[in-house]
Chains A and B, each alone.
Chain A
Amino acid sequence: MVALDTVVFGTVTVLDLIVFAISVVIIIIVARIIAIYLKRALSDRMERGELDKLVKVVQIVIIIFGIWFALPSFDVDIGQLLVVGGTLGLIIAFASQKIVSNLGSGIFLLIERPVKIGDTIQIGDVEGTVNQIRILSTIVKTYEGIYVRIPNEQVFSSDITNFVANPARRFEYLVSIGYGDDAGKAVRVIRNLLEDHPFVLKNPAPSIFVSELGDSGVQLTIYIWAPSRVWWSVRTELLQKIKEALDREGIEIPFPQRVVTMAGVKNRGTGQGER
């Protein structure tokens, strides 16, 4: 039987090898446990491919650190290694400053979750739908169908507007009717139309009111709440329906107009100035 203090090579004994092997096994188990935990925690926040990459990076970092700590069992001069490692680290850090910054931002984005895949957002000047959230960058498809890759550092430091973060959102229409039309009737016509639409939310209820007595007509303001996932289609669909409903009821949507009274010209019927 081989004695534990048998030298294998240099100053490394069998015992050193066993301690090192056990340390590595423990490190691998710890890395796997952390990987499982990460997968569970982030599976609904990241794409599978990206998550796998992140988990691998984390596992490799843990194993490298673990081996580092296990090395003293070989009587390796940690001081020398630190000098070499420190220098290498410095070079790598300078070379990959942006990458590390993007990686850090990506991790913070995953924790904070200001946007999710499928959300309609505005990040800086870019507006569209989030296609992917990667470790280093976020992919946005603009409304025109253009692919835009935004580095996570930029995403993290920009103003983010998420149009669908809340389950419901409000939009408004401004509709003018003629001064000769019945504003109460117009409000009723529009209210009935909104009640019939499935995605105009019952609560919060839509609000319709006379908001301005304008130059050309009476202005109605209509506030509508709709589920965030369908608000745009509701918005594009309803204005036409409102116009058609008002037309059916003979309610005029006036053109800009100005009443001009000519001084000194008499109107035959009323004795007023001619218009």
Chain B
Amino acid sequence: MFGESDYSFCYDSEEVSIRIDPSDGFYQYSRKSGDEEIRKVISGGSRKIVVNPVEPVNLPREVTRFLEVHFTPVAIEPDSSETVFITFPVEIGVFLESKGDFDVLDIFTLSRPKYSLYGPPEEGVITRYHESAVSGTIPEVDWLKEGVIALSISNASRNWVEVSRAVFDCSSLFLYYGDCVSLVARMNILSRDIADVRSEDRPLSDGMKPSVLVIKARKTLIPDKIPFMMEFGVGD
């Protein structure tokens, strides 16, 4: 499904069907997934579309830019590093492209969105919530629903730390797609309660392509690529 295509693009599966048909001098984009059906008229133009995974914080409507992944607790020794593989929810963006300029045509997901709060109600942040198992190798996932995060956890503190959640700032995310949807990230634990989390601009394996992200297509002012500081704990 993912990649660049012209208006002959068509995708049909049990869960989602996408097509673009000529209609009255224009083109009609239609998507059906579950009970949701969307139709949009698009002009001829360059007739290029891009379909790829995007930041999973847009649906059902945008209320946050943070993604929180809860996973099986991992105990990390002081002054050591460990790389674990966890999953994250995938949202799929359909973009119109013209001369390197992108416009968001549609965003949908085949996973069920759920939101949460990281931190206390008065100073925490709303997060898109996802639960994941932990594995030492790249897990098998349905890549239209879930992506894989290679999370490198470094414990710079003097104590054993049990990590069971990671919060990512999706305004500075780097997603790649190929054999799977991937995100490479680093978590640096500073103490039992504080860690910084950053996404790295590299694919999980060779040959993967970088995703066009919604934040870029909407030309939102992109903040500095600073790590997200998890100040309200890394465990349950």
Q: Taking A167-B125, A168-B126, A198-B60 as contacts, is the C-beta distance between A203 and B112 under 8 angstroms? A: no
Pair A230/B61 contact, Cβ less than 8 Å: yes
Chain B residues with Cβ under 8 A from A199's Cβ?
60, 63, 115
Pair A168/B117 contact, Cβ less than 8 Å: yes
- A81–B121 Cα distance when bound, in Å, is 57
Closest Cβ neighbor of B128 among chain A residues: A198
Pair A203/B117 contact, Cβ less than 8 Å: yes
How does the 8 Å CB contact mask read for B73-117 relative to A, with 1 for contact and 0 for none? 000000000000000000000000000000000000000111111
- A167–B118 Cα distance when bound, in Å, is 10
Chain A residues with Cβ under 8 A from B64's Cβ?
227
Pair B63/A229 contact, Cβ less than 8 Å: yes
Q: Taking A167-B124, A230-B63 as contacts, is the C-beta distance between A198 and B117 under 8 angstroms? A: no
Closest Cβ neighbor of A169 among chain B residues: B121
Pair A198/B116 contact, Cβ less than 8 Å: no
Is B15 on the interface with A (CB-CB < 8 A)? no
Pair B126/A227 contact, Cβ less than 8 Å: yes
A17 → chain B closest CB, angstroms: 47
Name the one of B112, B114, B117 contacting A167, with C-beta atoms under 8 angstroms: B117
| Interface pairs A-B: 10 shortest CB-CB | A202-B116, A198-B113, A227-B63, A227-B126, A168-B121, A203-B116, A202-B129, A168-B117, A166-B122, A167-B126
How does the 8 Å CB contact mask read for A143-183 relative to B, with 1 for contact and 0 for none? 00000000000000000000000111110000000000000
Chain A residues with Cβ under 8 A from B124's Cβ?
167-168
- A201–B64 Cα distance when bound, in Å, is 13
B129 → chain A closest CB, angstroms: 5
- A262–B30 Cα distance when bound, in Å, is 67
Pair B113/A204 contact, Cβ less than 8 Å: no
Chain B residues with Cβ under 8 A from A201's Cβ?
115-117, 126
How does the 8 Å CB contact mask read for B8-40 relative to A, with 1 for contact and 0 for none? 000000000000000000000000000000000
Interface size on A, residues (CB 8 A): 16
Chain B residues with Cβ under 8 A from A225's Cβ?
117, 121
A228 → chain B closest CB, angstroms: 8
A48 → chain B closest CB, angstroms: 14
B233 → chain A closest CB, angstroms: 12
- A170–B120 Cα distance when bound, in Å, is 13
Name the one of A196, A204, A229, A230 contacting B117, with C-beta atoms under 8 angstroms: A204
Chain A residues with Cβ under 8 A from B122's Cβ?
166
Pair B126/A198 contact, Cβ less than 8 Å: no
How does the 8 Å CB contact mask read for A247-272 relative to B, with 1 for contact and 0 for none? 00000000000000000000000000
- 15 A-B pairs besides A201-B116, A201-B126, A225-B117 with CB distance below 8 A are A166-B123, A167-B121, A167-B124, A167-B125, A168-B124, A168-B126, A169-B121, A198-B60, A198-B115, A201-B117, A202-B116, A202-B129, A203-B117, A227-B64, A227-B126
- A227–B118 Cα distance when bound, in Å, is 12
Chain A residues with Cβ under 8 A from B125's Cβ?
167
Chain A residues with Cβ under 8 A from B116's Cβ?
201-203
Chain B residues with Cβ under 8 A from A202's Cβ?
114-116, 129
- A168–B115 Cα distance when bound, in Å, is 11
A9 → chain B closest CB, angstroms: 54
- A167–B121 Cα distance when bound, in Å, is 6
How does the 8 Å CB contact mask read for B123-137 relative to A, with 1 for contact and 0 for none? 111100100000000
- A201–B100 Cα distance when bound, in Å, is 38
Pair A204/B115 contact, Cβ less than 8 Å: no
